[in-house]
Structure 1
Amino acid sequence: MKVAVRRLLVAAVPVLALALSAAGCGIHEQTQRWYPADNGVNTEAGDIGLRNVQVISDGEGTATVVATLTNRGAAEDELVEVRIGDVTAELADGPVEIPVSGITDLGPDGDRVDGFDVDADPGHTVAVEFRFGAAPRTTVRALVRPAEGQYAEALPAEQRRPSEAPGDGAPTEEATGAPADEATNGAEPPGDEPTGGPADEPTDEPTD
């Protein structure tokens, strides 16, 4: 009887291992579905996790960073700067807080990180650098996606264009002609002065 039970246990071990292996694969696949590889870049910066990092661009200089930040550390941190290529992006509300065991979203539905005059064409990749208050800075190569489909409204509502520097544009025309001639109407030009002597006075004295 004991031999039969032992044989059953031995036979059950491979089956149990196979079941656990299958379950492990299911968990791994589920984790991958949270952050699919073709949907953005995942990386770590110390205790800060960066998930689904990508850039949405109109191909004309305006771009928005989309990402999710997590914090598994014992203290809160903050995102203080983001660079898209060679351009420093604008943090719409200032430094972005990343609470302990919390999740912070970057993008149109979270904290906006917008770049202007960015060289980022859809279909290519661009370097995106993240700088934190405590965590080490990190750089990823993020895929640039067009502002369409689910990202059609991702770009800022008012896409800023490079403002003209003061003095640029058409200058105000200044008077360049000679000053207007002074009015001469009504003033007679000086005439020729008489050159003849005064009329001859009579010289003949009356005769007696």
Structure 2
Amino acid sequence: KDRGQVKSIVRTLNFRKANFQLFKELINKTPLGMALRDKGAEQSWQIFKDAFHRAQELSIPRCKKSGKEGKRPAWLSHDLLVELKGKKRMHRQWKKVLVSREDYRDTARFCKDEIRKAKTWLELNLARDTKNNKGFYRYVNQKRKVKESIPPLMSKSCKVVTTDREKAEVVNNFFASVFTGSLAPHTSQGNGPFDGDHGGKGPPTLSEDQV
């Protein structure tokens, strides 16, 4: 990695600590009537925007924008974080031959076991807490690496659609037919839920009548 590279920090407006009363007073004190006189639409908008941004900078502070990189995993407690920092510090010392390889290896194994235990306890608590469905599914979705997509669908004209827009139209037409009464009766011909399967050859296609 390039050690001389400067890491950029994104800062955003912190509306929780904003002084909206000061913002209102600054806008009211701005002589917009005189400033916008005999000005065109584009020039008037630029003058108003500059006044708005000046009042915003004086009344609304900024804070560091939090992202996924800055968020601590749910299983990472404060004590475990201290242990991991100690492991990192010992790794630097081992590189400088200040500690033995055995000491660093024992510390690394201890941290690995603690991480495994912390993840196990988190999953066990989520499984026991049946009322916290949001937390459970949020954790499951974070663990999923591949998002399942809708398979190819077959329209009423027996045309296989693969794009998202075409799939949305097929599904929309199907649900609309439920209320208009134009839903065709479901017939099963032994092909299973997917048409055009042909013994596993080719992509599975789902017809409108089988959604």
Decide: shared fold, TM above 0.5.
no
Larger Cα-atom Rg: 1
Of Structure 1 and Structure 2, which has the larger fraction of its residues in strand?
A: 1
Of Structure 1 and Structure 2, which has the larger fraction of its residues in helix?
A: 2
User: TM-score range, shorter-chain basis?
Assistant: under 0.3
